[in-house]
Amino acid sequence: MTVLSVEHHARKVPMPSYSFVLNGKPVTVEAPADMPLLWVLRDLLDVTGPKYGCGVGVCRACTSHLDGGEIQPCVVPVADCADREVTTIEGLADGDRLHPVQQAWLECDVAQCGFCQPGQIMAAAALLKRTARPTDADIDRIENVCRCGTYPRIREAIKKASANG
Amino acid sequence: MDRQLSRRRFMVYTLAASTLTVAAPLACDAPPAEGAEPARRSSDVLVTGTDEEMLVLEVTAANRIVVRLPRVEVGQGVTTAVAMMIAEELDARLADIDIPLADARTQGNQYTGGSSSVRSLYGPARQLAATARAKLVTAAARLWHVPARALRTRDTKVYAPDGRSATFGYLTGYAAAIRVPAVSARPKPASRHQVIGRPTTRIDARDIVTGKARYAGDLTVAGARPTVVARPPTLGGTVLSLDDRAARAMPGVHAVVRVEGGVAVVAETFHHAFQARDALKITWAPGPLAALSDADIRRRLRAAVPRLGTPPRGSAQVEGEFEFAFVSHAPMEVLTAVADVRPTRAEIWFSSQTPMDARDSIAEAVGLPAAKVKVHVMRGGGSFGRRLDSDAALEAALISKAAGRPVKLMWSRADDIRHGRMRPAGRHRIRASLAGGRVVAFAHSTASVSTAYEGKGAVRRASFASAAGPLPSDSGLYNFGALSGDYGSVGLASIPLGAWRSVDSGTSRTAEEIVVDEIAVRLGKDPVAFRRTTLRSKAVRAVLAKAAAAGHWGRALPAGHGQGVAVHEEYGSCVACLAEIDATDPKHPRVTRVVMAADVGIAVNPRGLQAQLMGTAIDGISTVLTAGLHIDRGAVREGSYADFHYARQRDAPLRFEAHIMPSHGEPGGAGELGVPAAAGAVANAYARATGTRPRRFPLNS
């Protein structure tokens, strides 16, 4: 179990602690209740797969899963994650065996700069969990921004993962 | 297109080392950008200088091939392209090749931009690897006492006819001692390429899909704490008064320092930093543009477009005026820099297209000699020209110096969109003069916003200068008779501008391609047929024919739908784009299909090239239909992707194809190539679907 806390400048303020399962392992963090999960992951736990792209739940570069459902950790307070399961891109594969969505991403060579791709992959994995055979209209509802414009390959990879899944 | 197979040879050095380490000078023969010095001829390529100027290849004892690349990877795929060039000539497995990004150097060409990377590296990288291969083969021949020419190389190994083999790693020490190789060190002819030209997945694809790829913000540098800056509501606004007591009293806050751009907060996490930033009580003095809004800028641009000359007597005119809004680069990874500035030295980590300039600017700003400033180049989460400028790194260095500690500075998305940089807003006046059923004169005048520096407080920045070169139309893409063009500009203080993918061509050539369609209409000709008869270059006609055929130009479409085409030629390459649009709701059109065809000479990685073209298609869709910024009393109105409408999946074409023309010509540039063709095709498709004449972009913002 990892216990981490925010080092306080000048004085130590008592802070609540939250335990949750992160990528299959239990963790406990001391953090303010309203601290977004994104910064808990990145700044306290050094889990950097989820990216900051806007901080307001719009670009969705941080997309991860909470109890298997899609979330944007930049707008989810850590308190909401207590005793639940958080999965980031780092926890999607089964050891060295990639998740079918990751595998499809490789086969379609989707990524360019790669920055939004952890979020895109987590959004696609969540979509396929809800809808095994997504239509173009389903795929169109993915809001994640890709500034490199990889959208056509994302669509192709989701269909490939759907066919292989 | 004028394409010559180059006979250039690159001399290659072997460096004294215990492992085989060879170096090739990086030619400056691909002009870095418009307005830069002219290309050097082969006779000018000097084989002098230090390793710093070279492309250096090392074969390690662990059988890794390491080439420290003096370029930045921002998604364009340069590391993969270079790995392929090395794998080709060395007969190494791609998986055995590492392409780390070189730290800022003191000399040489370390510029990433102007779609020049592959052009500038294609010769040196292949020569380098071919030389290394010749030495490895020679070393094996001596060890095994067999003729060198009997040996073969494959999969990072040398093989003897009797089946013996040795890895390059095993041979590297012996190869380091070889002075004159016993086999040719000449790169393969294109006809024998097995790696170059083969569609190849990015070498970093697995790191990306598993979340392992590291960007500046993912670094852990001892003591470097999250840092954000409170910035003024208006462009160039300044702090009048600051009360930071509440912010300083907040938990997790390490420092509050004033910087030119605002007030910086260094804290334990970004959460603490943002909260403390929001607790700062600042009164701001408005910036120099506080009285200025879009309408004023548009009026000034209109007045600044130089007049067109008198048209030929008796000619009929097809005319148009086009307006383009400011556009944010908005790379997914916001500007981020880690800086550790000490009294006697400094170290900075960030993604930079111009790390040598960055080092010099940072050294000057923090008062250190350049030799004491180390700049580590990180992969970037997109750029589109944004990382030509080093604003954030410079700011991070100054904050680190003022706070007396290392910092990890991140611009928020609102900082990124509200404080730039931006593609300059501009206006174009184009007139084609028709007589006897053809174009006898073509005139194009333009004006764009430029940055005026006034008084003190004007920071020295890595420059963005709009080159006063000839207009793209002057290249004579079409047989349009007498060509003329002129530039004007509207200088605005504190306006943060930057070169945006395809720079001036993204607007100039887009506007011209719209006029070409309107000329065709006036002459009663089909836009593709008209281009075919007026385009001067065979290569451009060929890509147009390919896109038109693959995209079924002229096929029947329902009412409210339309096809559009456009072409572009630049960087020694050319491209055509066909777009289909569903504009049954003209306020919410959807580009449903894009077909592109490109001739870039030898396409090192066709899959990577297709990705670049795909990106430019989405850029064209975005900038023509929805993505632009508004200036409202000196401030950028937009602040996130919620109002800066860059395309989402629902705006992207359902079908996308990119056809690569076969070629054995020297590689041309490709990263920016597609933007004007895609934008022009989307605008022309919209015009044909709606029966309108698109004039102001984005059309629906």
CB pair distance less than 8 Å for A106 and B209: yes
Say how far apart CA B387 and CA B112 lie, in whole Å: 9
pLDDT computed for residue B573 by the predictor: 96
Q: How far are the Cα atoms of A98, B381, B589, B612 from residue A147, in angstroms, in the given order?
A: 25, 9, 20, 12
Domain B13-200, classified CATH 3.30.365.10, yes or no: yes
Q: With an 8 Å Cβ cutoff, are B332 and A148 in contact?
A: yes
pLDDT digits (tens, 9 = 90+) for B174-229: 999 998 999 999 999 999 999 999 999 999 999 999 999 999 999 999 999 999 99
Confidence of residue B53 (pLDDT cuts 50, 70, 90): confident
CB B551 within 8 A of CB B678: no
B257 forms bridges with which residues in the sheet? B264
Of A6, A145, A155, the CB nearest to B269: A6
Domain B216-287+335-410 has CATH 3.30.365.10: yes
Let me know: does B15 contact B179? Beta carbons within 8 Å.
no
* Distances in whole angstroms, Cα of residue B4 to Cα of each of A96, B666, B680: 47, 7, 29
Prior bond of B667 cis (ω within 30°): no
Do B211 and A102 lie within an 8 Å CB cutoff?
no
Q: Residue A55 above 80 pLDDT?
A: yes
Q: Which long-range contacts (CB under 8 A, 24 or more apart) does A99-105 make?
A: A99/A125, A100/A128, A100/A161, A100/A164, A100/A165, A101/A125, A101/A128, A101/A157, A101/A158, A101/A161, A102/B209, A102/B210, A103/A161, A103/A164, A104/A157, A104/A158, A104/A160, A104/A161, A104/A164, A105/A157, A105/B205, A105/B209
Using CA atoms of B445, B449, B450, B456 in order, give the dihedral in degrees to the nearest 10. Answer: 150
Q: Answer whether residue B462 shows pLDDT above 80.
A: no
Check B226 against A43: CB less than 8 A apart.
Answer: yes
d(CA B624, CA B414): 23
State the Cα–Cα distance between residues B110 and B655, nearest whole angstrom: 37
- Pick the closest to residue B196 from B559, B609, B501 (CA basis): B609
Contact of B666 with B196, CB cutoff 8 Å: no
Q: What angle do CA B113, B674, B448 make, to 5 degrees?
A: 70
Q: Which of A9, A32, A155 sits opposite B649 (nearest CB)?
A: A155
**Residue A13 — pLDDT band, cuts 50, 70, 90?**
low
- Answer yes or no: do B615 and A112 touch at CB < 8 A: yes
Tens digits of residue pLDDT in A74-95? 999 999 999 999 999 999 999 9
Using the predicted structure, report yes or no on whether residue B463 has a pLDDT greater than 60.
Answer: no
Strands of the sheet with B225-230, listed across from one edge: B253-259, B262-267, B225-230, B407-410, B336-341, B346-350, B373-377
Average pLDDT for chain B:
92
A102-157 tens-digit pLDDT: 999 999 999 999 999 999 999 999 999 999 999 999 999 999 999 999 999 999 99
User: CA angle B205-B208-B211, nearest 5°?
Assistant: 150
What value does the mean pLDDT take over residues B61-72? 96
Average confidence (pLDDT) over B397-406: 98
A156 touches chain B (CB under 8 A): no
Annotated domain spans of chain B: 13-200, 216-287+335-410, 297-326+422-697
Mean pLDDT for the stretch of residues B414-433:
97
CATH fold match for the domains B13-200 and B297-326+422-697 = yes
> What average pLDDT score do residues B604-616 get?
98
Residue from the list A42, A50, A55 with its beta carbon closest to the beta carbon of B413: A55
Q: What is the mean pLDDT of residues A31-57?
A: 98
B94 CB contacts (<8 Å, ≥6 apart)? B83, B84, B87, B195, B200, B203
Residue predicted with more confidence, B43 or B584:
B584
Residue in the block written with tokens 């700069």: A113
B128-149 average pLDDT score: 96
- B340-380: pLDDT as tens digits: 999 999 999 999 999 999 999 999 999 999 999 999 999 99
What was the pLDDT predicted at B19?
Answer: 87
Burial class (CB in 10 A: 0-12, 13-18, 19+), B145: exposed
Q: What are phi and psi of B610, to 5 degrees?
A: -60, -35
Distance CA B533, CA B552 (A): 19
Q: Which residues of A touch B271 (CB under 8 A)?
A: 31-32, 35-36, 39, 43
Q: Give the model's confidence band at B32: pLDDT under 50 very low, under 70 low, under 90 confident, else very high.
A: very low
Check whether B663 has a pLDDT greater than 80: yes
Residue A109 near chain B (CB below 8 Å) = yes
CA–CA distance, A150 with A154 (Å, rounded to integer): 6
Q: According to the model, what pLDDT value does residue B262 have?
A: 97
pTM here is 0.94
The tens digit of pLDDT for each residue in B232-243 reads 999 999 999 999
3-state helix, strand, coil in chain B (%, to 5): 30, 25, 45
pLDDT of residue B35: 34
Q: Which residues contact B480 (CB under 8 A, 6 or more apart)?
A: B432, B439, B440, B441, B442, B473, B534
Task: Say whether pLDDT at B537 is over 80.
Answer: yes
Mark yes or no for CB contact A43/B382 under 8 Å.
no
Provide the pLDDT for residue B7.
Answer: 41
* Average pLDDT estimate for B160-180: 95
CB-based burial label for A143 (10 Å; 0-12, 13-18, 19+): middle
Residue B475 has a pLDDT of: 65
Per-residue pLDDT, A119: 98
Residue B290 burial by Cβ neighbours in a 10 Å radius (0-12, 13-18, 19+): middle
Query: Is residue B6 scored above 80 in pLDDT?
Result: no
Q: Please report which confidence band the pLDDT of residue B459 belongs to, taking 50, 70 and 90 as the band edges.
A: very low
CA B369 to chain A, closest CA, distance in angstroms equals 33
What stretches of B177-308 show up as alpha helix (H) in DSSP? 205-209, 245-248, 270-279, 294-304
Question: What is the SS3 assignment for B366-392?
Answer: HCCCHHHEEEEECCCCCCCCHHHCCHH
Q: Is B28 strand, coil or helix?
A: coil
Bond from prior residue into B509 cis (ω within 30 degrees of 0): no
In this prediction the ipTM stands at 0.95
| Helix ranges restricted to H, B404-504 | 413-418
Per-residue pLDDT, averaged over B120-138, amounts to: 95
> Which structural domains are found in chain A, ordered by start?
2-91 (3.10.20.30), 100-164 (1.10.150.120)
Higher pLDDT, B664 or B382: B382
Contact B551, B569 (CB under 8 A): no
Q: What is the dihedral of CA B518, B522, B526, B528, to 10 degrees?
A: -40
pLDDT at B393 over 60: yes
* pLDDT reported for residue B5: 38
d(CA B414, CA B637): 10
Q: Do B616 and A149 touch (CB under 8 A)?
A: yes
The beta-carbon neighbor of A9 closest among B202, B204, B253 is: B253
Higher pLDDT residue, B21 or B104? B104
H or E element at residue B547: helix B538-550
Q: How far apart are CA B525 and CA B270, in angstroms?
A: 59
Crossing angle for the helix pair B505-522 and B606-625, to the nearest 10 degrees? 70
Q: Does the pLDDT at position B13 exceed 70? A: no
CATH of B297-326+422-697, one of 3.30.413.10, 3.30.365.10, 3.40.718.10, 1.10.260.40: 3.30.365.10
> Does residue A111 sit at the B interface (CB-CB below 8 Å)?
yes
Confidence of residue A164 (pLDDT cuts 50, 70, 90): confident
CA dist., res. B335 & res. B215, Å (int): 11
Coil, helix or strand for B528?
helix
Indicate yes or no: CB of B209 within 8 angstroms of CB of A48. Answer: no
Tell me the residues of chain A between 25 and 64 that have a Cβ less than 8 Å away from chain B. Answer: 31-32, 35-36, 39, 42-44, 46, 48-56, 58-59, 61
A4 in contact with B, Cβ within 8 Å? no
Interface contact B641-A113, CB threshold 8 A: no
pLDDT confidence of residue B21: 87
Cross-chain Cβ contact A113/B331 below 8 Å: yes
Q: According to the model, what pLDDT value does residue B22 have?
A: 87
Q: In A, which residues are within 8 Å of B413 by CB distance?
A: 53-56, 59
Cβ neighbours of B643 in A, within 8 Å: none
* Range with lowest mean pLDDT among A9-18, B143-152, B241-250: A9-18
How high is the pLDDT of residue B54?
A: 83
Instruction: Please state the rounded mean pLDDT for residues B293-319.
Output: 97
Q: Under an 8 A CB cutoff, do B271 and A36 touch? A: yes
